[in-house]
Structure 1
Amino acid sequence: MKTSSSSFPRGRLIALIAAGLARLILAGVGIYGLILGPRTTSTPAPEPAPSTSHTPTTPGPSSSRLPVVPRSVDPETFARNVAEAIFAWDTTSALMPVDYTAAILDIGDPSGTEQAGLASDLATYLPTRDAWIELRKHETRQHLTIDQAVIPEAWADAVAQAQPGQIAPGTAAYTIEGTRHRDGLWNGEAVTSEHAVSFTVSIVCTPAYPTCHLLRLSQLDNPLR
């Protein structure tokens, strides 16, 4: 006969998968970056040909390939690509959180102005190195399904109230609402968890640059509305 104590480790793992030992102190909303956008007068370097297709970025089992965020000239498509990429990771791969961070920074502000802030934002979305090592013991993976991506009213108000030249042309914000899915193993048995998430991505597209780039992220579950 099983005792109640035998179910505790599994419940603890489910909580571990749900929380991921992620950092609890979240970075700021990044309103400064949202409003000002990139500040550069230089000519951007040539970039890969943009695509308007929407390609999921969920990693496969044991994949060691570096993640790549699909580029796009379409703002909403790019915002969705970014959102999926941020939540798509696999501890069974040879990669570490820094590799996933680097992939996101690769499509960040070309001027470099927002890169430090974006790196700080990303640190609150990904597990720490120690948490990653612990999650790897349970073959934990994660991906995001998106319910909607909308331009928040708060952003529209900011644009309407901005002074001429304050917001770079092509700058936009999209609030993403969706479900974070995690799965792993406990004593050879599969366990899963789902958690609703919401956040805002600030991006800049044409005419400022030939293709879209990521500027900043809001606090997780504290998006612009």
Structure 2
Amino acid sequence: MALTPHPPRRRLIVLVAIGFGILAALVGVGLYGLTLAPSPGAGTPAVTPSTRDAAPVAPSPMETRGAPHAIASTTDAEAFARDAAEALITWDTTEFDLTDYAQVIVDAGDPSGVETSALASDVRSYLPTADAWSKLRTYETRQWLTIDDVFVPASWSDALAQATEGELLPGTIAYTLSGTRHRAGVVGTDDQETSRPIAFTMFIACEPSFDECHLLRLSEVDNPLR
């Protein structure tokens, strides 16, 4: 289903209200909570005891020592997805704080603020808890991502076909990324490294809704759209 031109950006919040029709459609393809204006607490990843106290992402001034590399501005959705995925998975406990890495992702989110809270919750589920981060720091732990594949999932086409006018921002697209998550550190005097497969889906809105791409939501880690 073709997406219709989007009204002026000042009216975004009005036009992204959820309708029951699109909600039902998205539930059918596993997209519950990924429309543009979820009700409070709806559609966010389950917050377990291991993730509830993870990194807060409220805006705060960066320390003078700098901050992690920001996600590059672009109108290329796939390039944005790759860069955002690297920023989401890559961190080094010896360089920056947990909140610094979380803030980079939230800063690349919906500029209207509609999805900010939900995206922040998504990001917390991808990062270690504050306690775990402190322990990982004692081992000088760092993590990075090797991307194997980036593609638009078939189920996203189904969602677009069932969406009604005005329910999704024009230029919204989903990209599923699969690859390997690497983690390395120092145990005693020995360098150690582990790796495991990882996959997730990023929901992104670009032109004509925004002048550049922004991250709306994340799927649960290892539960991507296919």
- With normalisation by structure 2, the TM-score equals 0.72
Tell me the equivalent position of 1:98.
Answer: 99
Distance 1:208 1:199 in 2: 24
Give the partner amino acid of 1:74.
D
Name the CA distance, whole Å, in 2 between partners of 1:162 and 1:138: 48
Contact 2:30 2:225 in 1 (8 A): no
Give the structure 1 partner of residue 195 of structure 2. Answer: 194
Unaligned runs of 5+ in 2: 1-28, 39-64
CA separation in 2, counterparts of 1:157 and 1:122?
Answer: 26
Which structure 1 segments of 5+ residues have no match?
A: 1-28, 39-63
Give the 3-state SS of the residue equivalent to 1:82 in structure 2. helix
Of all paired residues, the percent bearing the same amino acid is 51
Task: Classify the secondary structure of the residue corresponding to 1:209.
Answer: coil
> 1:69 is matched with which residue: 68, 71, 77?
71
Contact 2:142 2:184 in 1 (8 A): yes
Shift of 1:200: 0.3
3-state DSSP of counterpart to 1:35: coil
List aligned pairs for 1:8-27, cutoff 5 A.
none
Amino acid at match of 2:85: A
Q: Which residue of 2 aligns with 1:130?
A: 131
Q: Which runs of 4+ in 1 moved over 4 A?
A: none
What is the match of residue 55 of structure 1?
none
**Structure 1 residues 187 and 65: alpha-carbon distance in aligned structure 2, compared to 1, 3 A threshold:** same
Say which one has the larger Rg: 1
Q: Does 1:35 align with 2:35?
A: yes
1:177 paired residue number:
178
AA at the equivalent of 1:209: F
3-state SS in 2 of match to 1:147? strand
Contact 1:139 1:185 in 2 (8 A): yes
Question: Do the aligned residues in 2 keep the contact of 1:35 with 1:158 (CA within 8 Å)?
Answer: no
Q: 1:30: how far off?
A: 8.8
Q: TM-score, normalised by structure 1?
A: 0.72
RMSD after superposition: 1.8
Q: Are the counterparts in 1 of residues 206 and 212 from structure 2 also a CA contact under 8 Å?
A: yes
CA deviations on 1:128-167 (whole Å, 9 max, x unpaired) are 1111110011000000010011111111100011112221
Distance in 2, Cα, partners of 1:213 & 1:32 = 20
Q: How many residues are aligned here?
A: 171
Residues of 1 paired with 2:202 and 2:164: CA distance? 22
